[in-house]
Amino acid sequence: MFLCQKPIVGWITTALNTIRSKRLQQLSLEFGRYVAIRDSERDPQEWLDLDYLLVRFLDSNPLRLRVTYKSEGMSDHMAVLLPELTKRGIVELVQSED
């Protein structure tokens, strides 16, 4: 599970690039309140890089991808940030309870 509390998404992409195991069953990303919005405004290419990497990763690894966000209404925003994942329907977008 990757927990992003600061507006930095590039480190997730960097960390995922180091994974070599084919035994993963689930990958979870959790974004804190407003983190995704601030980060996308700062560097939208980082989000597109993450989207591309996750699609490529899921194409070669049969696992479940879950993205959790804290702000109400972020589902539409996450769909813009991760366009290919959401278009293909290979990501579960979940609003957290807290």
Cα dist. 38→13, 22, 74 in Å? 17, 33, 12
Is residue 30 within 8 Å of residue 1, measured between CB atoms? Answer: yes
* The pair of three-digit structure tokens given for residue 84, joined into one six-digit string: 């290919």
Q: Where are the domains of the chain?
A: 2-95
pLDDT tens string for the chain (98 positions)? 555 555 577 888 888 888 877 788 888 888 776 555 555 566 778 889 999 999 988 888 888 999 888 777 777 778 888 899 999 999 998 888 76
With 0.85 as the threshold, say if the pTM is over it: no
Cα gap 60→8, rounded to integer Å: 26
